[in-house]
Chains A and B, each alone.
Chain A
Protein backbone atom coordinates (compact mmCIF):
# COMPACT_ATOMS: atom_id res chain seq x y z
CA UNK A 1 0.00 0.00 0.00
CA UNK A 2 1.38 3.41 -0.96
CA UNK A 3 0.50 6.88 0.30
CA UNK A 4 0.39 10.16 -1.61
CA UNK A 5 -1.11 13.61 -1.50
CA UNK A 6 -4.75 13.79 -2.56
CA UNK A 7 -5.11 15.58 -5.88
CA UNK A 8 -8.28 17.38 -4.79
CA UNK A 9 -6.70 19.60 -2.13
CA UNK A 10 -5.50 23.18 -2.42
CA UNK A 11 -2.18 23.96 -0.82
CA UNK A 12 0.60 26.52 -0.51
CA UNK A 13 4.15 26.35 0.74
CA UNK A 14 4.89 28.93 3.44
CA UNK A 15 8.10 29.95 5.17
CA UNK A 16 7.31 27.62 8.06
CA UNK A 17 5.72 24.69 6.31
CA UNK A 18 2.67 23.96 4.17
CA UNK A 19 -0.97 25.07 4.39
CA UNK A 20 -3.46 22.57 3.00
CA UNK A 21 -7.15 23.12 2.34
CA UNK A 22 -9.19 20.01 1.55
CA UNK A 23 -12.23 21.05 -0.49
CA UNK A 24 -15.26 21.59 1.70
CA UNK A 25 -13.33 21.31 4.96
CA UNK A 26 -13.90 23.83 7.73
CA UNK A 27 -10.27 23.91 8.76
CA UNK A 28 -6.93 24.18 7.08
CA UNK A 29 -4.24 21.68 7.89
CA UNK A 30 -0.85 23.17 8.66
CA UNK A 31 2.29 21.10 8.35
CA UNK A 32 5.05 22.92 10.16
CA UNK A 33 8.81 22.43 10.13
CA UNK A 34 9.76 19.11 8.57
CA UNK A 35 6.15 18.77 7.44
CA UNK A 36 7.22 20.60 4.31
CA UNK A 37 9.68 17.84 3.50
CA UNK A 38 6.98 15.26 4.24
CA UNK A 39 4.61 16.99 1.82
CA UNK A 40 7.31 16.98 -0.85
CA UNK A 41 7.97 13.29 -0.19
CA UNK A 42 4.28 12.52 -0.78
CA UNK A 43 4.26 14.11 -4.24
CA UNK A 44 4.38 10.62 -5.76
CA UNK A 45 2.99 7.37 -4.37
CA UNK A 46 5.39 5.91 -1.84
CA UNK A 47 5.23 3.12 0.71
CA UNK A 48 5.63 4.07 4.32
CA UNK A 49 9.21 2.76 4.30
CA UNK A 50 10.03 4.78 1.18
CA UNK A 51 8.69 7.97 2.77
CA UNK A 52 10.83 7.33 5.85
CA UNK A 53 13.89 6.78 3.65
CA UNK A 54 13.25 9.98 1.67
CA UNK A 55 12.93 12.01 4.85
CA UNK A 56 15.96 10.33 6.41
CA UNK A 57 18.08 11.14 3.34
CA UNK A 58 17.04 14.78 3.45
CA UNK A 59 17.68 15.21 7.16
CA UNK A 60 20.75 13.06 7.71
CA UNK A 61 18.73 10.89 10.10
CA UNK A 62 17.98 7.25 10.64
CA UNK A 63 14.86 5.92 8.82
CA UNK A 64 13.93 3.67 11.73
CA UNK A 65 13.85 6.55 14.20
CA UNK A 66 11.74 8.64 11.80
CA UNK A 67 9.25 5.78 11.36
CA UNK A 68 8.09 5.87 14.96
CA UNK A 69 7.23 9.57 14.79
CA UNK A 70 5.82 9.50 11.28
CA UNK A 71 3.16 6.79 11.57
CA UNK A 72 0.67 8.84 13.65
CA UNK A 73 1.29 11.90 11.44
CA UNK A 74 0.42 9.99 8.25
CA UNK A 75 -2.65 8.45 9.92
CA UNK A 76 -3.79 11.94 10.97
CA UNK A 77 -3.29 13.31 7.45
CA UNK A 78 -5.35 10.46 5.98
CA UNK A 79 -8.11 11.20 8.50
CA UNK A 80 -8.04 14.89 7.59
CA UNK A 81 -8.43 13.99 3.91
CA UNK A 82 -5.20 15.52 2.68
CA UNK A 83 -3.37 12.30 1.80
CA UNK A 84 -4.69 8.95 0.64
CA UNK A 85 -3.62 5.36 0.46
CA UNK A 86 -3.52 3.68 -2.93
CA UNK A 87 -2.52 0.27 -4.22
CA UNK A 88 1.07 0.20 -5.34
Chain B
Protein backbone atom coordinates (compact mmCIF):
# COMPACT_ATOMS: atom_id res chain seq x y z
CA UNK B 1 0.00 0.00 0.00
CA UNK B 2 1.58 3.32 -1.05
CA UNK B 3 1.00 6.72 0.57
CA UNK B 4 -1.88 7.67 -1.72
CA UNK B 5 -3.62 4.35 -1.07
CA UNK B 6 -3.21 4.95 2.66
CA UNK B 7 -4.67 8.45 2.31
CA UNK B 8 -7.62 6.97 0.43
CA UNK B 9 -8.21 4.38 3.13
CA UNK B 10 -8.09 7.19 5.70
CA UNK B 11 -10.66 9.13 3.66
CA UNK B 12 -12.86 6.04 3.73
CA UNK B 13 -12.43 5.49 7.47
CA UNK B 14 -15.75 4.78 9.15
CA UNK B 15 -17.77 4.65 5.93
CA UNK B 16 -20.13 1.67 5.62
CA UNK B 17 -18.23 -1.42 4.48
CA UNK B 18 -14.83 0.32 4.34
CA UNK B 19 -11.73 -1.69 5.33
CA UNK B 20 -9.55 -1.03 8.34
CA UNK B 21 -6.59 1.33 8.32
CA UNK B 22 -3.07 0.04 7.81
CA UNK B 23 -1.40 0.01 11.24
CA UNK B 24 1.93 1.67 11.82
CA UNK B 25 3.43 5.14 12.14
CA UNK B 26 2.13 8.19 10.30
CA UNK B 27 5.26 9.85 8.88
CA UNK B 28 5.74 13.61 9.18
CA UNK B 29 5.60 13.88 5.40
CA UNK B 30 2.15 12.30 5.41
CA UNK B 31 0.79 14.90 7.85
CA UNK B 32 1.32 17.57 5.21
CA UNK B 33 -0.67 15.58 2.66
CA UNK B 34 -3.35 14.81 5.24
CA UNK B 35 -3.73 18.52 5.95
CA UNK B 36 -3.84 19.36 2.22
CA UNK B 37 -6.58 16.79 1.70
CA UNK B 38 -8.44 18.20 4.74
CA UNK B 39 -8.31 14.84 6.51
CA UNK B 40 -6.70 15.76 9.83
CA UNK B 41 -10.12 15.50 11.51
CA UNK B 42 -10.61 11.97 10.21
CA UNK B 43 -7.09 11.11 11.33
CA UNK B 44 -7.80 12.43 14.84
CA UNK B 45 -11.06 10.44 14.90
CA UNK B 46 -9.19 7.27 13.88
CA UNK B 47 -6.71 7.81 16.72
CA UNK B 48 -9.49 8.59 19.20
CA UNK B 49 -11.54 5.50 18.33
CA UNK B 50 -8.48 3.22 18.46
CA UNK B 51 -8.49 2.35 14.74
CA UNK B 52 -5.00 3.75 14.42
CA UNK B 53 -2.43 2.99 17.10
CA UNK B 54 0.25 5.65 17.42
CA UNK B 55 2.94 6.38 19.99
CA UNK B 56 2.84 9.41 22.30
CA UNK B 57 4.97 11.62 20.01
CA UNK B 58 2.85 10.86 16.98
CA UNK B 59 -0.32 11.41 18.96
CA UNK B 60 0.95 14.83 20.04
CA UNK B 61 1.78 15.80 16.43
CA UNK B 62 -1.60 14.62 15.20
CA UNK B 63 -3.36 16.47 18.03
CA UNK B 64 -1.49 19.71 17.18
CA UNK B 65 -2.31 19.44 13.49
CA UNK B 66 -5.96 18.79 14.22
CA UNK B 67 -6.16 21.58 16.78
CA UNK B 68 -4.77 24.07 14.24
CA UNK B 69 -7.45 22.99 11.77
CA UNK B 70 -10.18 23.35 14.40
CA UNK B 71 -9.00 26.83 15.39
CA UNK B 72 -9.35 27.82 11.74
CA UNK B 73 -12.78 26.15 11.48
CA UNK B 74 -14.07 28.02 14.54
CA UNK B 75 -12.78 31.36 13.23
CA UNK B 76 -14.45 30.66 9.87
CA UNK B 77 -17.71 29.70 11.54
CA UNK B 78 -17.76 32.94 13.52
CA UNK B 79 -17.20 34.92 10.33
CA UNK B 80 -19.88 32.89 8.59
CA UNK B 81 -22.33 33.88 11.33
CA UNK B 82 -21.41 37.53 10.76
CA UNK B 83 -21.82 37.19 6.97
CA UNK B 84 -25.14 35.39 7.29
CA UNK B 85 -26.46 38.06 9.62
CA UNK B 86 -25.31 40.84 7.28
CA UNK B 87 -27.07 39.17 4.35
CA UNK B 88 -30.24 38.47 6.34
CA UNK B 89 -30.36 42.06 7.58
CA UNK B 90 -30.05 43.25 3.97
CA UNK B 91 -32.97 40.95 3.05
CA UNK B 92 -30.79 38.69 0.90
CA UNK B 93 -31.74 35.02 0.78
CA UNK B 94 -28.64 32.83 0.92
CA UNK B 95 -27.43 29.27 1.40
CA UNK B 96 -24.22 28.09 3.03
CA UNK B 97 -22.34 25.61 0.85
CA UNK B 98 -19.74 22.94 1.59
CA UNK B 99 -17.44 23.06 4.66
CA UNK B 100 -19.24 24.61 7.60
CA UNK B 101 -22.65 23.30 6.53
CA UNK B 102 -21.48 19.75 5.85
CA UNK B 103 -19.48 19.61 9.08
CA UNK B 104 -22.74 19.94 11.01
CA UNK B 105 -25.04 18.03 8.64
CA UNK B 106 -23.38 14.77 7.66
CA UNK B 107 -20.28 14.14 9.74
CA UNK B 108 -20.69 12.12 12.94
CA UNK B 109 -18.68 14.86 14.70
CA UNK B 110 -18.08 18.31 13.14
CA UNK B 111 -14.48 18.01 14.36
CA UNK B 112 -13.91 15.50 11.54
CA UNK B 113 -14.47 18.12 8.84
CA UNK B 114 -11.73 20.67 8.18
CA UNK B 115 -12.26 23.62 5.85
CA UNK B 116 -10.23 26.59 4.72
CA UNK B 117 -12.82 29.14 3.60
CA UNK B 118 -16.54 29.89 3.62
CA UNK B 119 -18.83 29.46 0.62
CA UNK B 120 -22.19 31.18 0.46
CA UNK B 121 -24.65 31.10 -2.44
CA UNK B 122 -26.92 34.02 -3.29
CA UNK B 123 -29.34 34.53 -6.18
CA UNK B 124 -27.72 36.01 -9.30
CA UNK B 125 -29.89 39.10 -8.99
CA UNK B 126 -28.76 39.64 -5.41
CA UNK B 127 -25.03 39.21 -5.80
CA UNK B 128 -24.21 42.90 -6.32
CA UNK B 129 -26.23 43.88 -3.24
CA UNK B 130 -24.66 41.02 -1.27
CA UNK B 131 -21.14 42.12 -2.18
CA UNK B 132 -22.04 45.71 -1.25
CA UNK B 133 -23.47 44.70 2.14
CA UNK B 134 -20.45 42.55 2.99
CA UNK B 135 -17.99 45.27 1.93
CA UNK B 136 -19.83 47.68 4.16
CA UNK B 137 -19.51 45.17 7.01
CA UNK B 138 -15.72 45.12 6.67
CA UNK B 139 -14.96 42.59 3.95
CA UNK B 140 -12.50 43.50 1.19
CA UNK B 141 -12.68 42.59 -2.46
CA UNK B 142 -9.15 42.04 -3.82
CA UNK B 143 -10.17 41.83 -7.50
CA UNK B 144 -12.98 44.12 -8.74
CA UNK B 145 -15.56 42.83 -11.22
CA UNK B 146 -14.62 42.39 -14.90
CA UNK B 147 -17.56 44.61 -15.86
CA UNK B 148 -20.50 46.29 -14.16
CA UNK B 149 -22.84 43.35 -14.93
CA UNK B 150 -20.31 40.49 -14.94
CA UNK B 151 -20.91 39.21 -11.38
CA UNK B 152 -24.67 38.82 -11.73
CA UNK B 153 -24.56 37.45 -15.28
CA UNK B 154 -21.42 35.35 -15.59
CA UNK B 155 -19.30 34.95 -12.45
CA UNK B 156 -19.07 31.60 -10.72
CA UNK B 157 -18.31 33.46 -7.47
CA UNK B 158 -16.85 36.62 -6.00
CA UNK B 159 -13.98 36.23 -3.55
CA UNK B 160 -13.97 38.47 -0.48
CA UNK B 161 -11.39 38.71 2.30
CA UNK B 162 -12.08 39.39 5.96
CA UNK B 163 -9.70 40.86 8.49
CA UNK B 164 -7.90 37.93 10.04
CA UNK B 165 -7.07 36.61 6.59
CA UNK B 166 -10.06 34.37 6.00
CA UNK B 167 -11.84 34.10 2.68
CA UNK B 168 -15.51 34.10 1.73
CA UNK B 169 -16.55 32.94 -1.73
CA UNK B 170 -19.90 34.43 -2.61
CA UNK B 171 -21.34 32.11 -5.26
CA UNK B 172 -23.74 32.86 -8.08
CA UNK B 173 -23.55 29.26 -9.33
CA UNK B 174 -21.90 25.95 -8.47
CA UNK B 175 -19.19 25.52 -11.09
CA UNK B 176 -16.93 27.48 -13.40
CA UNK B 177 -17.25 27.19 -17.18
CA UNK B 178 -20.14 25.79 -19.20
CA UNK B 179 -21.69 23.62 -16.48
CA UNK B 180 -21.93 26.63 -14.19
CA UNK B 181 -24.22 28.26 -16.76
CA UNK B 182 -26.35 25.13 -17.10
CA UNK B 183 -27.24 24.82 -13.39
CA UNK B 184 -30.89 25.87 -12.89
CA UNK B 185 -30.19 28.47 -10.25
CA UNK B 186 -33.78 28.76 -8.97
CA UNK B 187 -33.62 25.09 -7.92
CA UNK B 188 -30.90 25.92 -5.42
CA UNK B 189 -33.30 28.03 -3.37
CA UNK B 190 -36.00 25.38 -3.00
CA UNK B 191 -36.52 23.36 0.21
CA UNK B 192 -33.95 25.13 2.42
CA UNK B 193 -32.76 23.40 5.55
CA UNK B 194 -30.93 24.89 8.49
CA UNK B 195 -27.81 24.06 10.40
CA UNK B 196 -27.39 25.45 13.90
CA UNK B 197 -24.16 27.32 14.64
CA UNK B 198 -23.75 28.78 18.12
CA UNK B 199 -27.49 28.42 18.62
CA UNK B 200 -28.36 30.33 15.45
CA UNK B 201 -30.05 28.80 12.40
CA UNK B 202 -28.08 29.21 9.17
CA UNK B 203 -29.78 28.37 5.84
CA UNK B 204 -28.21 25.73 3.65
CA UNK B 205 -29.07 23.31 0.83
CA UNK B 206 -30.94 20.04 1.31
CA UNK B 207 -28.74 16.92 1.19
CA UNK B 208 -29.54 16.03 -2.44
CA UNK B 209 -28.34 19.43 -3.65
CA UNK B 210 -25.25 19.21 -1.43
CA UNK B 211 -24.54 15.83 -3.02
CA UNK B 212 -24.90 17.24 -6.53
CA UNK B 213 -22.74 20.23 -5.66
CA UNK B 214 -20.11 18.04 -3.99
CA UNK B 215 -19.90 15.78 -7.04
CA UNK B 216 -19.70 18.73 -9.45
CA UNK B 217 -16.97 20.29 -7.29
CA UNK B 218 -14.87 17.11 -7.28
CA UNK B 219 -15.33 16.55 -11.02
CA UNK B 220 -14.80 20.14 -12.19
CA UNK B 221 -12.81 21.84 -9.43
CA UNK B 222 -9.16 21.04 -8.76
CA UNK B 223 -7.51 18.66 -11.23
CA UNK B 224 -6.49 16.64 -8.14
CA UNK B 225 -9.53 16.81 -5.87
CA UNK B 226 -9.13 16.79 -2.11
CA UNK B 227 -9.96 13.44 -0.59
CA UNK B 228 -11.90 15.23 2.14
CA UNK B 229 -14.30 16.41 -0.57
CA UNK B 230 -14.53 12.89 -1.97
CA UNK B 231 -15.39 11.64 1.53
CA UNK B 232 -18.19 14.24 1.70
CA UNK B 233 -19.74 12.74 -1.43
CA UNK B 234 -19.63 9.22 0.02
CA UNK B 235 -21.20 10.43 3.28
CA UNK B 236 -23.90 12.37 1.43
CA UNK B 237 -24.63 9.45 -0.90
CA UNK B 238 -25.20 7.23 2.14
CA UNK B 239 -27.69 9.66 3.73
CA UNK B 240 -31.15 8.08 4.04
CA UNK B 241 -32.75 11.28 2.70
CA UNK B 242 -31.09 10.87 -0.71
CA UNK B 243 -33.68 9.94 -3.31
CA UNK B 244 -32.01 8.54 -6.44
CA UNK B 245 -34.95 9.47 -8.71
CA UNK B 246 -34.92 13.05 -7.50
CA UNK B 247 -31.16 13.39 -7.91
CA UNK B 248 -31.24 11.99 -11.45
CA UNK B 249 -34.20 14.19 -12.40
CA UNK B 250 -32.37 17.29 -11.13
CA UNK B 251 -29.03 16.61 -12.83
CA UNK B 252 -30.69 15.70 -16.13
CA UNK B 253 -32.73 18.91 -16.12
CA UNK B 254 -29.50 20.80 -15.44
CA UNK B 255 -27.63 18.89 -18.19
CA UNK B 256 -25.07 18.21 -15.47
CA UNK B 257 -25.44 14.43 -15.16
CA UNK B 258 -21.98 13.80 -16.65
CA UNK B 259 -19.92 15.79 -14.11
CA UNK B 260 -22.11 14.54 -11.26
CA UNK B 261 -21.54 10.94 -12.37
CA UNK B 262 -17.80 11.61 -12.61
CA UNK B 263 -17.69 13.12 -9.12
CA UNK B 264 -19.60 10.18 -7.69
CA UNK B 265 -17.24 7.73 -9.40
CA UNK B 266 -14.34 9.34 -7.52
CA UNK B 267 -15.61 7.69 -4.33
CA UNK B 268 -14.64 4.25 -5.72
CA UNK B 269 -11.15 4.71 -4.29
CA UNK B 270 -12.46 4.88 -0.70
CA UNK B 271 -13.30 1.16 -0.63
CA UNK B 272 -16.72 1.49 0.99
CA UNK B 273 -20.03 -0.18 0.23
CA UNK B 274 -21.57 1.81 -2.61
CA UNK B 275 -24.97 3.45 -2.39
CA UNK B 276 -27.67 3.38 -5.12
CA UNK B 277 -26.70 6.84 -6.38
CA UNK B 278 -23.03 5.78 -6.66
CA UNK B 279 -24.14 2.67 -8.56
CA UNK B 280 -26.16 4.88 -10.92
CA UNK B 281 -22.98 6.88 -11.61
CA UNK B 282 -21.06 3.73 -12.54
CA UNK B 283 -23.53 2.92 -15.29
CA UNK B 284 -24.07 6.44 -16.59
CA UNK B 285 -22.94 6.83 -20.18
CA UNK B 286 -21.22 10.15 -20.96
CA UNK B 287 -22.26 11.67 -24.29
CA UNK B 288 -19.91 13.13 -26.88
CA UNK B 289 -21.28 16.61 -26.12
CA UNK B 290 -20.37 16.19 -22.45
CA UNK B 291 -16.96 14.79 -23.31
CA UNK B 292 -16.24 17.98 -25.28
CA UNK B 293 -17.54 20.18 -22.45
CA UNK B 294 -15.49 18.30 -19.87
CA UNK B 295 -12.22 18.79 -21.77
CA UNK B 296 -11.91 22.39 -20.62
CA UNK B 297 -11.67 21.25 -16.98
CA UNK B 298 -9.02 18.59 -17.45
CA UNK B 299 -5.70 20.46 -17.38
CA UNK B 300 -4.84 23.15 -14.84
CA UNK B 301 -2.78 25.29 -17.25
CA UNK B 302 -4.94 27.75 -19.20
CA UNK B 303 -8.18 26.49 -17.67
CA UNK B 304 -9.87 29.87 -17.33
CA UNK B 305 -9.42 30.66 -21.03
CA UNK B 306 -10.58 27.21 -22.13
CA UNK B 307 -13.58 27.29 -19.81
CA UNK B 308 -14.51 30.74 -21.08
CA UNK B 309 -14.33 29.51 -24.69
CA UNK B 310 -16.38 26.40 -23.87
CA UNK B 311 -18.96 28.54 -22.06
CA UNK B 312 -19.77 30.30 -25.34
CA UNK B 313 -21.50 27.14 -26.56
CA UNK B 314 -24.12 27.27 -23.80
CA UNK B 315 -24.74 31.04 -23.74
CA UNK B 316 -27.29 32.90 -25.86
CA UNK B 317 -26.03 35.35 -28.49
CA UNK B 318 -26.53 38.47 -26.41
CA UNK B 319 -24.75 36.94 -23.43
CA UNK B 320 -21.91 35.68 -25.62
CA UNK B 321 -21.18 39.20 -26.79
CA UNK B 322 -21.29 40.70 -23.27
CA UNK B 323 -19.22 37.83 -21.87
CA UNK B 324 -16.56 38.12 -24.58
CA UNK B 325 -16.44 41.90 -24.24
CA UNK B 326 -15.92 41.67 -20.47
CA UNK B 327 -13.11 39.16 -20.89
CA UNK B 328 -11.40 41.04 -23.71
CA UNK B 329 -11.87 44.52 -22.27
CA UNK B 330 -12.04 44.18 -18.47
CA UNK B 331 -12.78 47.22 -16.32
CA UNK B 332 -9.86 49.51 -15.44
CA UNK B 333 -10.23 48.61 -11.74
CA UNK B 334 -10.01 44.89 -12.55
CA UNK B 335 -6.96 45.38 -14.79
CA UNK B 336 -5.23 47.50 -12.19
CA UNK B 337 -5.86 45.00 -9.34
CA UNK B 338 -4.65 42.08 -11.42
CA UNK B 339 -1.51 43.84 -12.60
CA UNK B 340 -0.75 44.87 -9.00
CA UNK B 341 -1.11 41.28 -7.87
CA UNK B 342 1.17 40.03 -10.66
CA UNK B 343 3.86 42.62 -9.86
CA UNK B 344 3.78 41.67 -6.14
Inter-subunit contact B109/A19 (CB<8 Å):
no
Assembled-state Cα–Cα distance A23/B200 (Å) = 11
Q: If A8-B200, A12-B110 touch, does A19 touch B71 (CB 8 Å cutoff)?
A: yes
A57 at the B interface (CB under 8 A) = no
Q: B197 at the A/B interface (Cβ < 8 Å)? A: yes
B74 to A, closest residue via Cβ: A21
Cβ of B77 within 8 Å of any chain A Cβ, yes or no, is: yes
Residues of B within 8 A of A23 (CB): 78, 81, 198
Q: Which of B63, B71, B110, B200 contacts A15 (CB 8 A)?
A: B63
What's the nearest-Cβ distance from chain B to residue A82, in Å? 11
Q: How far is the CB of B1 from chain A (nearest CB, A)?
A: 24
Chain B hits for A8, CB < 8 A:
198-200
Query: Is B75 engaged at the interface, CB distance under 8 Å to the other chain?
Result: yes
**B129 CB within 8 Å of chain A:** no
**Are B78 and A15 in contact, with the CB atoms below 8 A?**
no
Shortest B79–chain A CB gap in Å is 11
The total of chain B residues at the interface (CB under 8 A) is 23
With a CB–CB cut-off of 8 A, which chain B residues contact A28?
71, 74
Residues in A with CB closer than 8 Å to B78 are 10, 21, 23-24
Max count, chain A CB within 10 A of own CB: residue among B74, B110, B200: B74
Residues of B55-101 whose CB lies within 8 A of A: 59, 62-63, 66-67, 70-71, 73-75, 77-78, 81
| Binary contact track A67-83/B, C-beta < 8 Å → 1, others 0 | 00000000000000000
Given contacts A19-B67, A19-B71, contact A10 B59 (CB under 8 A): no
Q: Which chain A residue lies CB-closest to B59? A: A15
**Interface residue total, chain A, C-beta cutoff 8 A:** 15
- A44 on interface, CB distance cutoff 8 Å: no
CB B102 to nearest CB in A, in angstroms, measures 15
Complex Cα spacing A60 to B212, Å: 48
Q: Which residues of A contact B77 (CB under 8 A)?
A: 10, 21
A7 CA to B73 CA, complexed, in Å: 18
Residues of B within 8 A of A24 (CB): 78
Q: Determine the chain B residues whose CB is within 8 A of the CB of A14 once the complex forms.
A: 44, 63, 66-67, 70, 111
Residues of A within 8 A of B195 (CB): none
Q: Which of A7, A9, A13, A21 contacts B111 (CB 8 A)?
A: A13
With A10-B74, A10-B78, A28-B71 given, is the CB distance from A15 to B198 under 8 Å? no
- A16 to B111 CA separation, bound complex (whole angstroms): 12
- Does residue B244 face the partner (Cβ distance < 8 Å to A)? no
What residues of B have a CB within 8 angstroms of the CB of A13 in the complex?
109, 111
Cβ of B48 within 8 Å of any chain A Cβ, yes or no, is yes
**Residues from chain B with Cβ under 8 Å of A9 in the complex:** 198
Provide 20 A-B residue pairs closer than 8 Å at the C-beta atoms, listed in order of the A residue.
A7-B198, A8-B198, A8-B199, A10-B74, A10-B77, A10-B198, A12-B74, A12-B110, A13-B109, A14-B66, A14-B70, A15-B59, A15-B62, A15-B67, A16-B67, A19-B71, A19-B74, A21-B75, A21-B78, A24-B78
Q: Taking beta carbons and an 8 Å cutoff, which residues of A are in contact with B?
A: 7-16, 19, 21, 23-24, 28
